[in-house]
Structure 1
């Protein structure tokens, strides 16, 4: 029986890999069961000891298969079964099946009646048979049940693998429909007058809302209860025991996928005693579990790769943030890795419960087996190093490890399933295609952003970076010229290709931009007294009239941001504002999409630290739209807190200076480090300077009029309030929501900054939405790994 078991292993691999349709697979089972039984018997003559040569070319075996099939199989199954039999001979034995016509004389009723009828217990099946045979019906039925069970399991494994695509396909379809509905609603909100005396807008909105009240109520309920709130308030951006907490809708999707994957890995296993492949039930179940887990793990691989790329068509179609796709990517990877581990454990248990531990040990000498082990280990380490602690602490190393292990994984998987003649390649080639597509588009974006052929002058312009570090504000400014038209909500990846770690790329929000009006040569020296950040801080820099100067504000911490700061400090170690010019920094982008803040009546922007970079583009966009009459916004309030007073002043008196002159924009600035606040830093225009200075000290609030160090083109900033301490975000949001509800307006709250600030804003906005969900909506600018 041990010999029969070993021979049957070759047959076991035959049935699920022929790629036949479901209907064909069902109708071939009868004949397949027959030649599965006969193939394990020894007949004298051709192909002794060679499975496919014997079962396809030995006249005794072939005659036995034809005779038994005619005796037990339905007539409509014969042609399909014989075709399957012939295909198996060609595919796996590289031989042709003896046609019926060649042995017709041995298949007459008289000839068949002379064949001996054997059962499983007949001792003759252990000898070399010299004549064609028939088998007892009990043996045939057991063989048919064995074959039918194997085919059922194979079909079920494949179907459950495809179910993974059905699940995520449904999620993405819902996301696309949500995006379409959102765009339709935005298009219906035509820009209206920003005149505060105009009261017709609220009436028209109420009429429109009345017409679509059922849909609006349903959408509002979903947004209020699923899309906006965190699954574990107040944690969302803040780590909870080292983990980020998704929103309720994200948790629902992720948990649903875990549950579906777990259930599909655990159900519909048909083990029975007496199976011709493995007589005991335990090895059958372990084998089916191993195959199911392996196929489902392979099915998850294209999904895992699809959700990982930044150039993802579904990001464009759904409008979801990259962090959402990255969340799904990580959980799909964890499930696939767990399935790969189960696959490995189950195969180990299968070999030992079937009594074939010797073959298990010998398998480690085969490359396909060892590379399967390598693939499982690689996946495990990828998941381990992708946990948030590693991503935060050693991002550059994490990224390099991630890429190297992913390449190792793909190569190992190709070799691991090479024994199946490419049957699993449809799962693997998409990984190569997705990765190649993403990398190709990255290169295209880099070339497009950094090289520009101007047909009028027949000149090739390339991007040149200027980097400065403001020690007082602790901010690195990177400014790069490009012809790509900037928009709010965009971020770019920055490279330094000629450095040792030139492959590294880091995402930064586009903070500010300016456009030159003619082609000029700008020459300026960076110093606190003369720096105008609307121009790049380069010594000599040519700017074409169709180019933009993009500014990125980076707070240096570790890794690349610290190295960029150190470059500036080395160039001018004694300067408060050190800089370098002509540095090769490449742009890749733009990525991200603008939120429709223009469709709201009131907008409250809440920024913390360098989060101001995400807010200024929306303010500039509002100013531009207001001038063109293309916005509904009547009032926009910016609340910004930072530890550095110098940072607050410089942004307010430069990038925000023009915006602060508008009556519809209000700004509140908070310096959270009160020990660093110096009232003497301000120039007060009133003769009552001392009295006002004392008032500022007592109330910790004063109106900033002018920076002592500001000269030249720097505008006065006389329309914002400067405070010390942290802003009371819940009170600000509740007050804005109450005001919006009272006036019949729609309020948009957008937050960008440290995790605690963003989570506080989300929780406060959610409370306001519960009271009046149709009037308040929350947006968040955050890039999640």
Structure 2
């Protein structure tokens, strides 16, 4: 009996991990394994399922086991499972009905004490109640744990659904509720202390540093709350609603049963996180449109779902490793006998270990310091590790028939890639772009095959085919008068630095082939506010100036103020057309600060690949009227305070630029919520996922 018991424990503990469709499985699995262990015939082998389906002694013994051991309400479910398996797996009809086999068995049976796997029975076998009842209860508890594991996984998915629903409700309110009038006190308090501020301190986009090394960024407070609740629920769900059966004969020791239950629970939860992890990472995540959350926000959610999945995976791997290292002692064998025999020599288990290692590598290389300094390397390595991880997980769980989560994750990934390709094709796969250099800024002008008018705040990913065609980088879109799309970026490391160097070598102008993938992003409804403050730093003007032009086109009596801080005057060259349009008519108040070293006495027209004599007269006049202040920065905190105090109604503050500037704007706006005569809101455009 001992030989079949050990193998049945190991096989059935894995089988119930995925076949727990209902509690009738506990009866079915326990009674069918019991009969195979105690009964053999000269015509049916242990693995000859088709023969067993038509063997009357097997059928009668199975009916007796259900009758003696199982709960009455589960007997018919267990019997029907056997009938279904006989038809689906072996294409044969089982012998008789439950009632007929039970009656025949009760009329002529022997006790299980009188037979074993070496002494065949010639008649039906009745199980010994106490021993097999505990086996059944243990099996019942295993399936009960599997069921609750599914429920808890569904609750975690439902939690994210609730978060998305809250975002959708907020988006509707922002779009349709009036901005004018005083705010309810509780609403102002909630926004001032929950939705607007950084988690702690005033830093959000600007990273926290250890010495000179940036190590992490602080989430917004509401994002921290969302992640904390998810993390807390996940940790709780790993451990709750599990129990052991004292004295049960399957695992022998309570610690082994508890270890198995914990491994099953963690495995289920990890599996259910997989589709969410892929969905939250996608650029074409449909939940972004429904919730109004930005790609940056979903990237935060993606990282924490992935981290939680990694924890689940580690718990799953650790518990099953511990189980197999210790199960031998329960059956008078070497403690590690089953680990060496059933894990090390089983490729399906080994790939699970490899998947766990891959997940650990992704956790390490996805740390902020690596993403920030070597983003291209991080992205390429991350995608490669994810592909290996996915393949290993697929192989690991395919034997357990739980591939639906893998199919779902794969479908999400394929949908995202398909939409990306469609966007590139619609924009024109053979688009040429003119690249020029203005100081440390790279200026790209391209006209896609199919014109789509970008709304303020939208961006696109550019693939520069000359420089690593597989890489893409986000650029804010600024439209020119002739329908070209203008993308501007500061030359940092990676692709922008390569472009800056290659164009500089060609007298500051070059032509390259690009793929345009976009547009992405949302446009903030600044037109719904009576006073709008636009704050830009450096190349952040590309987004801000689009909003300024949009507000001007919409007309109305709103008061619009634009502050732009830039390092040197040469940046005026790549915005002169748009600046002229903004200043025309005087509806928008412009304040320009050149913070770098500059000589106020020199002309404002800066030499460039295009001389100022070629500029339109309107643009020249606009540039000459620019109120430029040199070698000084505005006190943005005071500016925001004064504007909110002077405004008679709603105020919107919009910022785009360096992290330190955006953080000051957020902090100052948050401090003034509830202080004005109407609603005060803050918006920002920033690519903070790197």
**Same-fold call, TM cutoff 0.5:** yes
Question: Do the aligned partners of 1:46 and 1:53 also contact (CA within 8 Å) in 2?
Answer: no
Residue in 2 that maps onto 1:783: 687
The alpha carbon displacement at 1:283 in A equals 1.1
Choose from 589, 592, 614 the match for 2:518.
589
**Partners of 2:141 and 2:243 within 8 A in 1:** yes
Who is 2:643 aligned against? 736
Q: Is the 8 A contact 1:175 1:318 kept in 2?
A: yes
User: What SS does structure 2 have at the residue aligned with 1:641?
Assistant: strand
CA deviation profile, 1:147-204 (whole Å, cap 9, x unmatched): 221221111111112122111111111111221222222xx67xxxxxxxxxxxxxxx
* Among candidates 656, 676, 681, match of residue 602 of structure 2: 681
| Alpha-carbon distance, 1:88 to partner | 3.9
**Which residue, out of 413, 417, 427, partners 2:393?**
413
Q: Does 1:99 align with 2:95?
A: yes
Are the equivalent residues in 2 in contact too, given 1:641–1:669 (CA < 8 A)?
Answer: yes
Task: Indicate conservation of the 8 Å contact 1:294/1:340, yes or no.
Answer: yes
- Structure 1 residue 257 and structure 2 residue 230: aligned? yes
Shift in alpha-carbon separation, 1:146–1:45, aligned structure 2, 3 A: farther
Are 2:526 and 2:652, in contact at CA under 8 Å, matched by a contact in 1? yes
How far 1:307 sits from its partner (Å)?
0.5
Contact 1:745–1:775 (8 Å) recurs in 2 = yes
Residue in 2 that maps onto 1:637 = 561
Do the aligned partners of 1:476 and 1:554 also contact (CA within 8 Å) in 2? yes
1:615-654 to structure 2, matched below 5 A, reads 615-626=544-555, 631-633=556-558, 635-647=559-571, 649-650=572-573, 653-654=576-577
Deviations 1:514-548 (A, max 9, x none): 233xxxxxxxxxxxxxxxxxxxxxxxxxxxxxxx1
Matched, 1:715 2:682: no
Closer, same or farther: CA 651–107 of 1 in aligned 2, 3 Å: closer
Contact 1:514–1:549 (Cα < 8 Å) also in 2: yes
Decide whether the 8 Å contact of 2:645 with 2:676 is kept in 1.
no
In the alignment, which residue of structure 2 is the partner of 1:62? 59
Confirm whether residue 400 of structure 1 aligns to residue 380 of structure 2: yes
Counterpart pick for 1:751 among 643, 646, 655? 655
* 1:436 corresponds to which of 392, 397, 414: 414
Please name the residue that 2:212 is paired with.
none
| 1:35–1:55 Cα contact (<8 Å) kept | no
Measure, in 1, the Cα distance between the counterparts of 2:522 and 2:575. Answer: 25
Cα distance in structure 1, aligned partners of 2:361 and 2:515: 31
Distance 2:98 2:155 in 1: 46
Cα distance in 2 for residues equivalent to 1:78 and 1:721: 86
Q: Please list, as runs of the form range in 1=range in 2, the aligned pairs for 1:361-400 lying within 5 A after superposition.
A: 361-362=340-341, 363-400=343-380
Cα offset, 1:128, TM superposition: 1.7
Asked whether 1:115 is paired with 2:109, we answer yes
Q: Which has the larger radius of gyration?
A: 1
Corresponding position: 1:611 with 2:540: yes
Judge conservation of contact 1:34–1:143 (CA < 8 Å) in 2.
no
- 2:503 maps to 1:507: no
Shift of 1:349: 0.5
Structure 2 CA distance for aligned equivalents of residues 595 and 162 of structure 1: 33
Structure-2 separation of matches of 1:103 and 1:781: 71
Q: CA deviation at 1:660?
A: 1.9
Matches within 5 A, 1:124-203: 124-125=115-116, 127-131=118-122, 132-185=124-177
2:459 and 2:520 in contact (8 A); partners too: yes
What displacement does 1:40 show? 2.4
The CA RMSD measured in Å over matched residues stands at: 2.6
Deviation per residue, 1:198-254 (Å, 9 max, x gap): xxxxxxx44xx6xxx7xx555433322211101112111111241111111110000
| CA deviation profile, 1:470-491 (whole Å, cap 9, x unmatched) | 2xx3221100013221221111
CA 1:35–1:267 in structure 2 vs 1: closer, same or farther (change >3 Å)? Answer: same
Shift in alpha-carbon separation, 1:312–1:126, aligned structure 2, 3 A: closer
Aligned pairs for 1:491-570 (under 5 A) are: 491-497=459-465, 499=466, 501-510=468-477, 512-516=478-482, 548-570=483-505
Return closer, same or farther for 1:639/1:768 CA change in 2, 3 Å cut-off.
same
Alignment partners' CA distance in 2, 1:103 and 1:179: 61
Residues of 2 paired with 1:53 and 1:431: CA distance? 36
Partner deviation per Cα, 1:559-615 (whole Å, 9 max, x = no partner): 10011112212212xxxxx1013x212211011111111111111111112111111
Which of 584, 591, 594 in structure 2 is aligned with 1:668?
591
Residues 88, 679 of structure 1: CA spacing in aligned structure 2 closer, same or farther, 3 A cutoff? same
Secondary structure at the counterpart of residue 751 of structure 1: strand
Measured at CA, do residues 652 and 280 of structure 1 come closer, stay the same or move farther in structure 2, by a change above 3 Å?
Answer: closer
Q: Give the unaligned 5+ runs of structure 1.
A: 190-204, 452-461, 517-547, 573-577, 683-703
Q: Once the 2 structures are TM-superposed, how far is the Cα of residue 126 of structure 1 from its aligned partner? A: 6.1
CA distance in 2, matches of 1:97, 1:360: 39
How far apart are the structure 2 equivalents of 1:107 and 1:758? 77
Answering whether residue 88 of structure 2 is matched by residue 80 of structure 1, we say: no
Quickly say closer, same or farther: Cα 1:737–1:595, change in 2 above 3 A.
Answer: same
* CA contact 1:661–1:719 (8 Å) conserved in 2: no
Q: 1:500 to 1:751 in 2, by over 3 A?
A: closer
Counterpart in the other structure of 1:693? none
Aligned partners of 1:668 and 1:723 also within 8 Å:
no
Whether the 8 Å contact between 1:666 and 1:719 is mirrored in structure 2 is no
TM-score, normalization: structure 2? 0.90
Counterpart residue number, 2:457:
489
1:580 paired to 2:484 = no
> Is 1:602 matched up with 2:582?
no
Match of 2:564, SS state, is strand
Q: CA deviation at 1:100?
A: 2.6
Deviation larger for 297-306 or 477-486: 477-486
**Structure 1 residues 437 and 68, CA gap change in structure 2 (3 angstroms):** closer
- Alignment check: 8 A CA contact 1:282 1:353 kept: no
Preserved contact between residue 603 and residue 636 of structure 1 (Cα < 8 Å)? yes
| Uncovered stretches (5+) of structure 2, i.e. residues with no partner | 210-214, 329-334
Secondary structure, counterpart of 2:349 in structure 1? helix
Partner-residue secondary structure (3-state), 2:620: coil
1:404-442 deviation line (CA, Å, top 9, x unaligned): 12222222222111212xx21110011211111111111
Cα 1:14–1:321, aligned 2, differ >3 Å: closer, same or farther?
closer
Is residue 443–residue 574 contact of structure 2 (8 Å, CA) maintained in 1?
no
Deviating more after overlay: 394-403 vs 143-152 = 143-152
Q: Which residue of 1 aligns with 2:331?
A: none
Looking at structure 2, the residues matched to 366 and 354 of structure 1 have their Cα atoms a distance apart, in angstroms, of 17
Question: How far apart, in 2, do the equivalents of 1:102 and 1:314 lie?
Answer: 50
| CA deviations over 1:670-689 (Å, ceiling 9, x no partner) | 2222xx2112313xxxxxxx
3-state SS of 1:128 partner: coil
In structure 2, C-alpha distance between the alignment counterparts of 1:78 and 1:570, rounded to whole Å: 82
Task: Compute the displacement of 1:130 (Å).
Answer: 2.2
8 Å CA contact 1:752–1:780 kept in 2: the answer is: yes
Aligned to 1:530: none
Give the secondary structure class of the aligned counterpart of 2:560: strand
- Measured against aligned partners, the alpha-carbon deviations of 1:21-63 in whole angstroms (never above 9, x if no partner) come to xxxx235544554334333224343334437467545543332
1:350 to 323, 336, 340: 323
Q: Give, in whole Å, the separation in 1 of the partners of 2:464 and 2:575.
A: 30
